[in-house]
């Protein structure tokens, strides 16, 4: 539990183990939310599982060392282990690729062929497995949108969907099932409930705040990371990022209302709860909350622009949204725990 003295001599407390578990659980929930479409490359899932495994392990170890909530802390360690297990399964099935991504690859190839009258044929990798596709009569380094080294190949796709060089079906191995990403979420929920119950405040309010915070932090983090993934997979449909930003917009009012429930941030403004700074932290929290939803609206506006640079602009805005979102969640939790 992290503590910091206030100007009035009071102490604010923030359970880092709970925050890290929230972050990991919410992040994995929205990992499934995006990968269930089977369009984003495998590497995006690998990135998220690795990041949130580290956060979950960190939360569990901090809790075991500093706090007294073994259910939450063991759940954190189990979330980290589950993330690694799911990651290993995804890596083991990487040659199968992602169905939606392969379909998009084929669609783009047919479109290029229709426009240029250049038809693409499969190439065979040196190890005998199916490689990418290339136009007839061109070298493997030809700079076409779908050529070797293009986003589809870097993100785990393949050129000839579903078949290896010997003509057998690769899909018989089985594509990675995105539902497995909900395993760490299910385990983590046990720990989050235990953390909410272990409080002197109203248990129902604490539970709402804990779960809303998990979704809030997970949505904004995954949205920012997905924005960066468009650099790796430029052909990725924008609707995936639109969905995450929309989800953040839906979770935002739940998060804000949860922090206003009694005893909530209204008590800080009225002086019933002393934040140690004459209510300044309460107004700082309000500024973070309002700025977050403004950034969500501006990000949506940026994504409506046709230029590809709009995605990068949206990613930059989501960087800022992470800062304000953490201010919205952590400042309130710290002040209200005094």
pLDDT at 126: 40
- One domain, residues 55 and 187: yes
CA distance 271 to 275: 8
pLDDT band at 139 (very low <50, low <70, confident <90, very high): very low
Residue 244 burial class via C-beta count within 10 angstroms: exposed 0-12, middle 13-18, buried 19 and up: buried
- Show which of 114, 149, 173 is a domain's final residue: 173
CA distance 24 to 16: 12
Q: What is the pTM of this model?
A: 0.78
- One domain, residues 207 and 282: yes
pLDDT band at 116 (very low <50, low <70, confident <90, very high): low
- One domain, residues 317 and 180: yes
| pLDDT tens profile 152-190 | 333 333 333 444 433 344 445 688 999 999 999 999 999
| pLDDT tens profile 54-70 | 999 999 999 999 878 99
CA distance 114 to 236: 21
- One domain, residues 102 and 245: no
pLDDT at 47: 97
Provide the domain limits for residue 115.
98-173
- One domain, residues 131 and 86: no
- One domain, residues 153 and 237: no
- One domain, residues 103 and 145: yes
Tally of domains within the chain: 2
Token pair for residue 269? 């403004």
Using left for φ > 0, alpha for ψ between -120 and 50, and beta otherwise, residue 80 falls in alpha
- One domain, residues 19 and 142: no
**CA 328 distance to own-chain centroid:** 18
């Amino acid at each position: 539990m992290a503590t910091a003295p206030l100007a009035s001599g009071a102490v604010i407390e923030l359970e880092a183990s709970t925050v890290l578990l929230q972050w990991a659980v919410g992040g994995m929930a929205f990992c499934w939310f995006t990968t269930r479409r089977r369009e984003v490359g495998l590497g995006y899932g690998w990135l998220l599982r690795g990041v949130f495994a580290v956060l979950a392990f960190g939360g569990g170890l901090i809790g075991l060392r500093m706090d007294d909530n073994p259910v939450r802390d063991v759940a954190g360690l189990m979330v980290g282990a589950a993330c690694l297990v799911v990651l290993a399964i995804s890596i083991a099935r990487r040659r199968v690729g992602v169905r939606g991504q392969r379909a998009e690859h084929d669609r783009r190839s047919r479109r290029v062929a229709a426009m240029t009258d250049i038809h693409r044929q499969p190439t065979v990798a040196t190890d005998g497995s199916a490689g990418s596709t290339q136009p007839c009569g061109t070298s493997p380094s030809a700079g076409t949108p779908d050529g070797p080294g293009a986003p589809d190949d870097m993100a785990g796709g393949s050129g000839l969907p579903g078949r290896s060089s010997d003509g057998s079906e690769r899909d018989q191995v089985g594509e990675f099932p995105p539902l497995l990403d909900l395993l760490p979420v299910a385990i983590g929920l046990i720990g989050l409930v235990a953390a909410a119950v272990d409080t002197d405040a109203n248990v129902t309010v604490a539970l709402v705040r804990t779960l809303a915070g998990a979704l809030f932090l997970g949505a904004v983090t995954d949205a920012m990371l997905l924005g960066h993934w468009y650099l790796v997979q430029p052909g990725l449909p924008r609707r995936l990022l639109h969905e995450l930003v929309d989800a953040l917009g839906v979770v935002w009012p739940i998060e804000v209302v949860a922090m206003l429930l009694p005893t909530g941030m209204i008590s800080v403004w009225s002086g019933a709860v002393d934040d140690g700074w004459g209510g300044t932290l309460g107004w700082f929290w309000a500024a973070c909350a309002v700025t977050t939803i403004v950034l969500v609206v501006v990000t949506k506006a940026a994504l409506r622009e046709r230029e590809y640079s709009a995605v990068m602009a949206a990613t930059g805005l989501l960087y800022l949204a992470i800062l304000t979102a953490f201010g919205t969640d952590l400042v309130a939790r710290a002040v209200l725990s005094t």
